[in-house]
Amino acid sequence: MKILLTSLSGQYGGMEIRMLQEAAVLIDIGHTVKIGISTFPDQARFFEAAKSRGIDCFTLDIPPFFELWSRRHLNLIKAYFFSVCQLKKENFDLAHVFMPWTDQAASRLWVCAMANIPTVMSIHGNFSNTANFPLFHQRILRTACRNLRGIFAVSESAKLSFLRNFESFINIDVEVIPNFVNSQRFRPNPTLRKKLRQQLEIPDNAFVLGYIGRLAPRKHVGDALEAFSRFHTKQSTSHFIIVGDGPDKSFLHQKACSLGIINSVHFLGFQPTPEEYFPTFDANILLSEEEGFGISVIEAMSCAVPVICTNVPGLSELVIHANNGFLVNRSEHIKISDYLEKISQNPAEGNTMGCSGRELVLRKYDFQIFSQMIKDFYQRCLS
């Protein structure tokens, strides 16, 4: 079978990583896979990662007639005469459309339907608002969904928010297949922990907070810097390691300077091997305003690192408060420094939390579990 994986992407983030992982699983069971993805700033890096895994990629820029209201009619005509023809030439047996947010998949779904390609869809975001689709969009959605063979969401909350917006347009059940982590790659590693601390000149006994992910506004890394600053006034030997790149990079560097903590904050940029950094952390932080599923959270837990997250759908399903980490409400960020102090002053409790997190990963989010779930899903859809 020749399968297309496609999405409207704005960054090289969790959903794009999931596409590469899924492509590898499908290739492993004998399918031919191509990834068709929109142009975005980190596309060259994504293509390079795909090539290193033997995955073919191509640029698929479908005019956004569903997503862009002001040019919907012109873009619809362009999509019909160019994008539909582009997909027909490829002779795909199945297409998988990855849906990041409420309105960012329907154009691709429609093009696949018009190219007469059986389609499956996955939901990777939580839709915080209920959409009120105009008649134009309703017609597009009914056409787009006519060839759907299967749908899954990466979390229960993503499933519920999707159904709140799209249930009237589909006639099949929505499954839940969560994201996963390779627990053999992401694991506690004292050697890596010591090596990175030596490179960054961080003492072995210093408390280290970590963040790995995009430096984007909705991740609220600035709030994490403020929380660390409050904690740092009590624990002056503590450090904050930030791994990632994005539009907020300069702003965050300036903020660390203005808070007077720049000498204790390490901006390491994008790193292709995050499993080499998590073991260094004593706690991991993610303060997103919304998440479909926090991949970096389960990666940290797999490395037995306690996590501190915002209490939002997609994260609250992963973190059991005071068991494998702490949950904080958006309005209660003042508590973060208290939680950091609690972990730093009680290393045994932090270790227990970390072990609980890794046990949860091995039980629910390990690669072997995901691999079997995704294989079963495709088998059902293809049959």
What are the pLDDT digits (tens) for 332-342? 888 999 999 99
pLDDT given at position 184: 96
User: Looking at the domain 2-180+366-382, which fold is it?
Assistant: Rossmann fold (3.40.50)
User: Can you tell me the mean pLDDT for 87-116?
Assistant: 90
Closest CA to 365 of 332, 327, 317: 317
pLDDT given at position 278: 98
Query: What is the residue-averaged pLDDT of the chain?
Result: 93
pLDDT bracket for residue 103 (50, 70, 90): low
Determine the 3-state secondary structure of 311 from DSSP: coil
Q: How far is CA 374 from CA 254, 255, 380, in A?
A: 43, 42, 10
Residue 101 pLDDT > 80? no
Residue 128 pLDDT > 70? no
Task: Quote the tokens at residue 186.
Answer: 């992401």
pLDDT given at position 133: 86
pLDDT given at position 119: 97
Residues 6+ apart with CB under 8 A from 287: 219, 220, 221, 223, 224, 309, 310, 328, 333, 336
Residue 265 pLDDT > 90? yes
Cα–Cα dist 59/86, whole Å: 11
pLDDT given at position 381: 92
pLDDT given at position 130: 64
User: Can you tell me the mean pLDDT for 235-260?
Assistant: 96
Domain locations along the chain: 2-180+366-382, 190-365
* 18-35 pLDDT tens trace: 899 999 999 999 999 999
Q: Domain 190-365 has what CATH class?
A: alpha beta
Residue 111 pLDDT > 70? yes
pLDDT bracket for residue 66 (50, 70, 90): confident
Task: Quote the tokens at residue 157.
Answer: 């909350």
pLDDT given at position 222: 97
The alpha carbon of residue 369 and the mean position of all alpha carbons in its chain are separated, in whole angstroms, by 18
**Quick check: do 2-180+366-382 and 190-365 share a fold?**
yes
Q: If phi over 0 gives left and psi between -120 and 50 gives alpha, with beta otherwise, what is residue 13?
A: beta
Cα–Cα dist 253/280, whole Å: 21
Residue 208 pLDDT > 60? yes
